[in-house]
Structure 1
């Protein structure tokens, strides 16, 4: 009988089993390592996700603030424009609201002036006519004062340079002593209300210009 223990000897089958066991250990270790790495990466991503969300919310809030600021500025600008328009409409109503009425009243002023001008110097010596004329002149003066309160002013035309914005030429007057385009006669006075023309002045304008120079004939032969 042999003293050799068959269990104590390493057979090829045992060696193959050991090698397979080692390979299995190595395989399990690599899988565990990969799993651990994947868990670490996932944890890191979960940790970074809230920060990314916070940045996104901050950017969204900044965009909303900018949008609200722009809307506020537009609303303020529109409000200011409306205030200015309302103020201008109010001023126009105060200045020009009586334009039509004032234009009609100018006819009364014209008639009062015609009545005063129609009285001759001889008739002015008559006490009755003189008293009546004084009343008419006072009425005219009061009317012009009322015009002035409502910013209605007489256009000073005679002797002024013709202005198409204020004057309306009715005829021309030959006068070489004055500059052409000078108002020499006022047929009907004109008026302005505030800074607008209420009625143009009807005027006669000079033409011709400077005097003609005398012709000199050279008599030298």
Structure 2
């Protein structure tokens, strides 16, 4: 029966008549596709450039900070050498002879060499004495009443702090001034009265 309907020009019941669709200009379609592909390529290039920069930054960070754990451990050894030297009185150092003199010189040499090697690999001592207290670089151990310096100034260093690059390996343990004159605030301009109201 559908053959008869088709022969007579009628549409069968289950078929939908196809509307005339306007033909798309092939040149415009190619231009649109070209524009889309160009956009994709530019985005991919930008992503690859960002990835390259991020990778370079990660490699530089790894080079700089890979030894941080080892350096932190070496600081403990350096501290032990420093404490060993502090225990020896100056009179004994000056009058030491023979084996004792060699031992003292050996400890001094080992301490200097450890400090030199740490510095060679980017480990720097954090300046603390006389600086304004910085909680990112200093660890306050106690407060010292001192009216001669501004409050919050480091007046005593108990243990030196060290950093590698911009990262703190160990904060400096410090004593901080308390009760000194506060930093002077800038004087207001004019007579200090707000006349804008």
**Same fold, TM exceeding 0.5?**
yes
| Counterpart pick for 1:65 among 26, 34, 46 | 34
Counterparts of residues 13-52 of structure 1 (less than 5 Å):
none
User: What's the counterpart of residue 57 of structure 2?
Assistant: 88
Counterparts of residues 16-165 of structure 1 (less than 5 Å):
56-125=25-94, 126-128=96-98, 129-165=100-136
| Bigger relative contact order (CA 8 A; separation at least 6) | 2
Which has the greater radius of gyration? Answer: 1
CA distance in 1, matches of 2:142, 2:31: 73
Q: What's the offset of the Cα at 1:118?
A: 1.5
CA distance in 2, matches of 1:190, 1:92: 21
Q: What's the offset of the Cα at 1:60?
A: 1.0
Q: What's the offset of the Cα at 1:132?
A: 2.1
Cα-Cα RMSD? 1.6
Give ranges in structure 2 of 5+ residues lacking alignment.
Answer: 1-21, 182-197
CA distance in 2, matches of 1:157, 1:76: 47
CA distance in 2, matches of 1:198, 1:149: 15
- Secondary structure of 2:54's aligned partner: helix
Q: What's the offset of the Cα at 1:171?
A: 0.2
Give ranges in structure 1 of 5+ residues lacking alignment.
Answer: 1-51, 211-221
**Normalized per residue, which structure has more helix?**
1
CA distance in 1, matches of 2:160, 2:65: 20
User: What's the counterpart of residue 139 of structure 2?
Assistant: 168
